[in-house]
Amino acid sequence: MSPSPRTDALASDQLSVEHLLGIKDLIPADIDLIFRTADGFKEVLGRPIKKVPSLRDITIANLFFESSTRTRVSFELAEKRLSADVVNFSSSGSSVSKGETLIDTVNNILAMKVDMVVMRHPDPGAAVFLSRHVGARIVNAGDGTHEHPTQALLDAYSIREKLGKVKGVRVLIAGDILHSRVALSNIFCLQKLGAEVMLCGPSTLMPKHIEALGVKVERDLDKALRWCDVANMLRIQLERQGGDGIANFPSLREYAMVYGLDLARYKRIGKDVVIMHPGPINRGVEVSSEVADHANSIILDQVQNGVAVRMAVLYLLAARIPRNAV
């Protein structure tokens, strides 16, 4: 039986997609290819000269319509390590404030011969919308409450690095699932790689019918922690709470008492659960400082791996640009 084009990404060393819009669109072989490529770039990042010429003929625009520290800096570093030309745009101080549409803004930037766009946007679906209307490779750097694919890739890559595998690993995702693009992308990515996923959080922050995605749901954080090998403690998205005028929990203090991970609760688990957090951390809310900085925390490894993983994504997507179009 000949392999279908959609499952042959590993054999051809080429991604099955032209844009990275969400993990949902990827096949497991794409993720494996991204990880193997990131392994090579991680070795490059350990050298005295942390730079390769791979994308010296490519220009990338980073368009950030929403705040970011890690993703923005990580993409810019990844692009510069690959020798791409880089242009940065943020919506504040731009003509967006004069009423220019997203498509007009991006097409004006592309008219200056830009090949790839990395975009963060507050609206779910903004990256998919853009990919249908402009002629450049699009990388979703987080679209509202929808997906954050490179975060999920670097999270799974960091689990693979720490535990030597992802298949069969039990991963707890705890906290504000309702507003989290990281949760959705992580669920898709971990399941494609054969991990088991459990969600835990207040019922007001748990999307209805989320079990339909094949995840376990547990309300009791202590039980969930005893089940897992890895605990990914999500940020309470303070900026997205109470959109309908109703508070999702009484106070941050009460949230921290019931759903926060402090050292006493961590010690009660009785095993070396790996601690993760996508950042930015609300210290003392999702995790205490002792837990964030614990020997079993890989929070800064996640950030470090983000550069190699994003280099891999950009490199593999650029490989799909016809060279005579560059």
Could you list the residues that contact ligand CP (CB under 6 A)?
68-72, 142, 148, 151, 278-280
Q: What is the DSSP letter of 6?
A: G
Nearer to ligand CP, 202 or 306 (CB): 306
Distance from C-alpha of 230 to C-alpha of 174, rounded to nearest angstrom: 11
Distance from C-alpha of 277 to C-alpha of 297, rounded to nearest angstrom: 9
Nearer to ligand CP, 148 or 160 (CB): 148
Q: Taking the complex as a whole, how short is the minimal distance between the CB of residue 123 and ligand CP, in angstroms?
A: 16
Distance from C-alpha of 161 to C-alpha of 165, rounded to nearest angstrom: 7
Count of CA atoms in the C-beta half-sphere (13 A) of 134: 29
Nearer to ligand CP, 37 or 74 (CB): 74
Handedness of CA 190, 196, 200, 205 (dihedral sign): positive
CB–CB of 228/198 below 8 Å? Answer: yes
Nearer to ligand CP, 72 or 81 (CB): 72
Q: Taking the complex as a whole, how short is the minimal distance between the CB of residue 134 and ligand CP, in angstroms?
A: 23
Q: Taking the complex as a whole, how short is the minimal distance between the CB of residue 87 and ligand CP, in angstroms?
A: 18
Q: Taking the complex as a whole, how short is the minimal distance between the CB of residue 168 and ligand CP, in angstroms?
A: 26
Q: Taking the complex as a whole, how short is the minimal distance between the CB of residue 160 and ligand CP, in angstroms?
A: 18
Distance from C-alpha of 211 to C-alpha of 209, rounded to nearest angstrom: 5
Residue type present at position 224: A
Nearer to ligand CP, 54 or 145 (CB): 145
